[in-house]
A and B are shown apart, each in its own frame.
Chain A
Amino acid sequence: MNDFADLPVWAAVLVSVSVLTGAFVTLVGCIGLARLNNFYQRVHAPTLGTSFGTALILLGSIVYFSLAGGRLAVHEALIFVFVSLTTPVTLMLLARAALYRDRAEGNGDVPAPAGQDVEVGKPE
């Protein structure tokens, strides 16, 4: 345990509020992951953690290391850029895979592939 590099109190409060809010937002996202009803609702919930939770915790880390080290430390922004770029890609892949599986097994009320629902609504 370090001695937190005798930060001023306002900086400690700023880091604390940012990290605590980020952790709480991440917890809310994971509770949503555990409690929501079907997969297509659940796939939205953890993105709270990957967007606002990650941004706030990394902001706290940037403020702490900048003030403790005496120079600007923005290397945490690398994690934020990477996570915010890759999370939509992976979750869209996963949602498309789930949609494919539900369509292949014919369960649930998932929408039909594009081009087939036109035939349903067409009058004879």
Chain B
Amino acid sequence: MSAAILFWSLSIAQFLLALAMVAAIYRLIKGPRAQDRVLSLDSMYVNAMLMLVVFGIRYGTTIYFEAALVIGVLGFVGTGALAKFLMRGEVIE
């Protein structure tokens, strides 16, 4: 009973997160400017992190948690570097 509830709800949650990534990809392609693309890339980082957390619940292992943590760190660094690049034209001055 509880296994069926968890299986279907986690599958639906993963489907919703995939739809969220599709919406972010739509904004990534459509643009119109560079800051919109950086913003959609940042939200795709967050969606991928949440997707990995849901995978971790689904397979009952904590390995996915560490991958999600790494993706969160890389999202912060990547978006910060891209925003700095848009602001100044260089990342490290």
Give the B-binding residues of A (Cβ under 8 A): 1-9, 11-13, 15-17, 19-20, 22-24, 26-27, 29-31, 33-34, 39, 42-43, 46, 49-50, 53-54, 57-58, 60-61, 64-65, 68, 73, 75-76, 78-79, 82-83, 86-87, 89-91, 93-94, 96-98, 100-101
Contacts and interface: CB of A to CB of B under 8 A. Distances in A.
Nearest to B69: A79
B16 interface: yes
Chain A contact residues: helix, strand, loop or mixed: helix
A39 B49 CA distance: 24
A15 B76 contact: no
B50 A57 contact: yes
A33 B39 contact: yes
A46 B10 contact: no
